[in-house]
Amino acid sequence: MRRLGLAAAAVLMAGALVSCGGTEDTASGDGKSDSTSESVPAAESSKASAAFGDVKITKAGVEDHQVWGDGAYVVHYEITNTGADAANYFAEIRLVDKDGDHLGQTGVTADRLGPGKSSTGDIGVLEAEIQNGKLSDIVAAKVGTVDRTKPE
């Protein structure tokens, strides 16, 4: 299990967060993301917009997983630091149903990620993270807000 950085922001933004399987790697993924139709809220700055592009969902769906169990909804992600300095990341992952309605959210983190480096991992969605339906209603995961901060 990865230790969750930015705990205060994570708790406020996504409730109970669990993340595992993270590795630091300079190799990039396949570049496919379910987040391409998601946009950054207008109130966010261009700096935040750049951070939004640093997070990609590489795969999401029901699978048998050694940590999350059989038939778990698992989101695989990649966070790549495109900035000039090391950064901590918190990314909200929004879960939606077949109508595109918001069911709930979870979150992922990457701590002290160096410039040009990537962190990949996966996260299983927990029943407690679904407020507007049930786990079986999830058909997609999309990148929501992304916070990129300087490590202390």
| Confidence (pLDDT) at 144 | 95
What CA–CA distance (Å, rounded) separates 65 from 135? 15
What CA–CA distance (Å, rounded) separates 53 from 42? 15
End-to-end Cα spacing for the chain: 22
| Confidence (pLDDT) at 47 | 61
Give me the tens of pLDDT residue by residue for the chain, a chain 152 residues long: 333 333 333 333 333 333 333 433 322 233 333 333 233 444 445 566 779 999 999 999 999 999 999 999 999 999 999 999 999 999 999 999 999 999 999 999 999 999 999 999 999 999 999 999 999 999 999 999 999 999 98
| Confidence (pLDDT) at 15 | 34
Tokens in use for 62?
Answer: 């029901």
Threshold 0.85, pTM exceeds: no
For 9, what's the count of Cα atoms within 13 Å in the CB-facing half-sphere?
A: 16
